[in-house]
Amino acid sequence: MMATAETPRPAPHHAPASAEALAALVRTAGHEGRRLRIHGAGGWLDAGHPVDATDVVTTMAMTGITAYTPADLTLSCGAGTTLAELDAATRAQGQWCPLLPWGDDAGTVGATAATATAGPFATRLGQPSALVLGLECVDGTGRVIQAGGRVVKNVAGFDLTRLMIGAWGTVGIITQLHLRLRARPPVDRTFVLSAAAAATAEVTTFARGPSAPLALLAMDRDATWPSTLGVRPTPMDPSMRRWLVRVGGDAPFVSAAVDALARLGRLEEMDGATAWPLVRRHAAPRATPHQWRWDPLSLRLRDRFDPQRVLNPGLLGTV
């Protein structure tokens, strides 16, 4: 009888519902020499280097709005809260958290912060590091740590909020976030701007000026995403270019911005509620943990917060 290879057992999956349960899981893993693959909704598991892990942990069970003060434009939520849930909760108050990263609203708030994923609105509305006021996390030793937000002083004097944002879960697992909100613009309009290539500098100046849009994306000739919007391909005429533009604010501001755009070229209005989710999904760059570098300081911090390399080992390279 021929011997057959044993089918590898799937890695155990864990979905702790609280920071305390997660901390106990991390401590047990450290004692038993196990390594944990951490993720939220699991949309970008192919990013970075292969992870050498024995167990998989998702934060999806740590969900829900835990505190919301509309008057202060602040909100706290579990890391497993989806962007769709966050949008629904704030929309009812005429507010939003403009994380709006590349991808879709099925992703989690925690993963957005952990990967520092921005999106088409980040230049105007803020990067994740500017929108996260503070957070709770569990480090690689199983400690529950509060950072920023309501805390008077961070642990050991470190700015742990910024440390965790963009670290891809290699020094701590984000369990709760305290977020900065904004008022939703009462007027919100989206256009395709067609203008001469010679006007590119003027378009760039407009995007940085007093009538700056919420987003402006060049619709390059080699891009495939414009077709998902039903927009004709950019003309082969090298003297012409197109941009997708979103302007938002009160009525006088938007009117002034539209007038300024009209002086640059021809405008074609689109349904922004349909267009921008498609753009976020189809124009998304490949997810890469490029924000992080294992410099000497980063290594010292990892030795401080995950000395046994329990969390996402290998994801950002072997160290």
Residue 152 sits in the same domain as residue 207 = no
Percent of the chain with pLDDT over 90: 71
On the CB side of 229, CA atoms within 13 Å amount to: 30
Separation between Cα atoms, residue 288 and residue 298, nearest integer Å: 18
Say whether pLDDT at 309 is over 60.
yes
Residue 150 sits in the same domain as residue 86 = yes
Give the CATH number for residue 206.
3.30.70.260
Q: Which of 233, 214, 215, 216 is nearest to 224 (CA)?
A: 233
Position 158 scores a pLDDT of 58
Q: Which residue has better confidence, 207 or 149?
A: 207
Residue 199 sits in the same domain as residue 135 = no
Residue 63 sits in the same domain as residue 158 = yes
Position 151 scores a pLDDT of 42
Mean pLDDT is highest, among 2-6, 23-27, 103-107, for 23-27
Q: How many domains does the chain have?
A: 2
Residue 149 sits in the same domain as residue 297 = yes
Give the CATH number for residue 70.
3.30.465.10
Can you give the residue range of the structural domain that contains 96?
58-183+286-305
Residue 206 sits in the same domain as residue 85 = no
Query: What band does 171 get if pLDDT is binned at 50, 70 and 90?
Result: very high
Give a yes or no: residue 140 inside a domain.
yes
Position 150 scores a pLDDT of 54
Residue 142 sits in the same domain as residue 200 = no
Tokens of 151: 């805390």
Give a yes or no: residue 30 inside a domain.
no
Give a yes or no: residue 12 inside a domain.
no
Residue 219 sits in the same domain as residue 205 = yes
Residue 64 sits in the same domain as residue 179 = yes
Residue 236 sits in the same domain as residue 295 = no
Q: Are 216 and 203 in contact (CB under 8 A)?
A: yes
pLDDT, tens digit (0-9, with 9 covering 90-100), for 227-241: 888 876 566 677 889
Average pLDDT over residues 82-100: 94
Residue 166 sits in the same domain as residue 292 = yes
